[in-house]
Structure 1
Amino acid sequence: MSDDWKASASTGDEKSWKLLEKALLASVQEQRRSRRWGIFFKLLTFVYLFGMLALFSPMLNLRKAGSSGGSYTAVVDVRGMIADKEAASADNIIGSLRAAFEDESTKGVILRINSPGGSPVQSGYIYDEIRRLRAEKPAIKVYAVISDLGASGAYYIASAADEIYADKSSLVGSIGVTAAGFGFVGTMEKLGVDRRVYTSGEHKAFLDPFQQPKADEAEFWRGVLQTTHRQFIDSVKKGRGDRLKDKDHPELFSGLIWSGEQALQLGLIDGLGSTSYVAREVIGEKEIKDYTVEETPFDRFAKKIGASVADNLAMWMGFQGPSLR
């Protein structure tokens, strides 16, 4: 075999391999483009479906709350922290209560409580609305049922009901007000950092955690908390009336918390029982219909991303405002 033929064959093989390589590269690139477009369309579909769920979830909730035959016991959950923008916000709970009262099939309403308390303002809104609804439609009774915990602001809300029930081991009470924070004065001194604050009011910076608290400002702040505590006590007394054994037990308003069994003896609750027990034996309608506002998928997603800027700022500043918990 001649050298020229061998060279020609070698050149042909090289060209063939280059063509094959180009074809393979083109195929790989095409597959990559296809995958990228596939991922894009999948993501677009996910966003679309997520948006539809976020848009129509409230409508689904309304359908749930409006579909049933005959009479039933309406249930509204008070779960977790009572605060604006939380599941147990005044807007959510009041909206649920109004919907339950407006339904002609509602025989009675149960507030199913499992909460450590929270904002005195949000708790006060709910308390006032319960009393308004009760006065407007006295035939529909409201019962608070405490499961694990009904403390502070949660008990504030419960005291607006006609009757309160709990388990013998539930934790009930904590009628008090708290405001907490941290002081960083010593830390600043160790770091050699000076705090410079400019205000247009003598006491404008009295809650600044980087300055030593002044005696007159601390006394003023205690007065604010005592005023809030008195409002709390007055509301509980108005709701519970003579059932409270506070004359014999002044510690009822000290912020202490009791078991359900103890709370019954102190007049903080009216009986021991669960939601199903109250619906069946007290209201007389075992059929339960849940009016609790459910968070949309978008709300749950947003909460998982992170807390609000205001909450982070408050945490960084080391201060927490008055709280019924």
Structure 2
Amino acid sequence: MAMSRHLNPIASDTARGRGAGSCDTGRFERHSRAADHDGWDIPEEVRVLRTQVSEERPRSVLNYVRSPDIPFDRTINPYRGCEHGCIYCFARPSHAYLNLSPGLDFETKLIARPEAPAVLDRELRAKGYRPAPVAIGTNTDPYQPVERERGIMRAILGVLRDFRHPVGIVTKGAMVERDADILSSMAAEGLARVGISITTLDPVLARRMEPRAPAPARRLAAIRRLTDAGIPVRLMVSPVVPALTDPEMEAILEAGAEAGADAASWIMLRLPREVSPLWQDWLEAHYPDRAERVMNRLREMHGGKEYDSAWHRRMRGEGPYAEIIGRRFAVAARRLGLDRKTPQLRTDLFAPPLRSGDQMSLF
């Protein structure tokens, strides 16, 4: 099957340092947009795409999910879109709901939610609220570059710490080290864990796939610094890319164990909706010699399709190849002591802090 060529490409100089190479409109748009020459023989200045950040006032920040194949039921997203620009990111299609492109718009037109901490404080004080671990970073990365200036994630963690509410974080961002002071105090009470995702140890491949995420070696250093601060870290070999990164699985696990990770997990490459054509365009541009092999492996695991969204199949696929990856992971994780069951985050310590003017209980 030939690679998808229906995307409208953006000039390579314009999209320098980005993952996607096109800015196709989302699936809900009635009209499409495409870059085209105006016909004038006049040199034009090449303008590199800059990141734009707008703001949103959320009415609620706790997003409840009911998927039976994930270990949490609520999430928080400090940002929409992600400047890391990982070409394979399964969250890209969510930008279509904002009438924006899952391609370049996803990584250049971000939406920050500065009032999220205050809204979270209000939601956690609701009389009917029952605590359970909240996951942050399962859609877009809370430690993407914009967080350095905005500090929304740190403020959210401050709220969760004050409420003694459990949290699990997933990130590629080394900026998580900045919040080690909050996370270490929470971890000491069994309230926090961090998962750090490493796709490859090859810095060249990483820069192509994840152009604005920290290099693999930097992420390994973050694992070491967090664990040295008493914060438990799970190494996430995610996503595993057939015929591209899968040969590195054991080496990634060894590096993570050496850095101090106490557990590990893996997820196969997922290509929902607009991600598939974006990924195939990228693959053909950077690794044309392996493009067909990669896509054939994915189709083998999804009944001939590029992706199957069915629960319990979407994360790892089915068939001989998926089974081989699973066995390889299990053997290596067991050898390295990364197959242990981690303790559940505590919920029994949850207690809304007093606000100014609140009266303390006598008992």
TM-score, normalised by the number of residues in structure 2: 0.28
Indicate the structure (1 or 2) with the bigger Cα radius of gyration.
1
With a CA cutoff of 8 Å and minimum separation of 6, indicate the structure with the bigger relative contact order. 1
- Report the TM-score, using the length of structure 1 for normalisation: 0.30
Name the structure with the higher helix share: 1
